[in-house]
Structure 1
Amino acid sequence: MPKMKTKSGAKKRFKITGSGKVKTGQANKRHGMIKRTKKQIRQSRGTTVAFKTDGENIKKYWMPNG
């Protein structure tokens, strides 16, 4: 039986925190900034923790060794 490999795209996009949560970049930052308020743009800087169910799926299917 071969080893389970981490999906290389997931390696670049997600990190697993010490408590097992999945940390990811903020969404909706690629284009269309002109129609968003300055507050929305400011608040979507940096990273965020994925929702619990999304994080479980990421760890199960794409980052089994994470």
Structure 2
Amino acid sequence: MPKMKSHSGTKKRFRRTGTGKLMRGKAFKSHILTKKSTKRKRGFRQETVISNADKRVVSTRLAGR
């Protein structure tokens, strides 16, 4: 049986830290930025840890199982 491939979309959207946490980019930062405060837009730049509910799905798609 051939090896399973990692999901390409998942590879582009998530990354694993050195300690094994899964990081994701924040949403709502791409357009209609005029009505959003500078402080809020600045917060969109940082990555954040994914929720516990999504960990299993994302890690399986990254591992390719």
Fold shared by both chains (TM-score > 0.5): yes
RMSD of aligned C-alpha atoms? 1.5
Aligned length, in residue pairs: 64
Unaligned runs of 5+ in 1: none
Supply the distance in 2 between the matched residues of 1:36 and 1:19 (Cα, whole angstroms).
Answer: 33
Match of 1:38 in 2: 38
Deviation of residue 27 (structure 1)?
1.2
Deviation sequence 1:13-35 (CA, Å, 0-9, x none)? 11112332211111111111112
Match of 2:62 in 1: 63
One-letter code aligned to 2:63: P
Match of 1:47 in 2: 47
2:6 pairs with 1:10: no
Match of 1:29 in 2: 29
Q: Percent identical across equivalent pairs?
A: 41
Name the CA shift for 1:53/1:20 in 2 (closer, same or farther; >3 Å). Answer: farther
Supply the distance in 2 between the matched residues of 1:8 and 1:48 (Cα, whole angstroms).
Answer: 20
One-letter code aligned to 1:12: K
> Which runs of structure 1 show a deviation greater than 4 angstroms over 4 or more consecutive aligned residues?
none
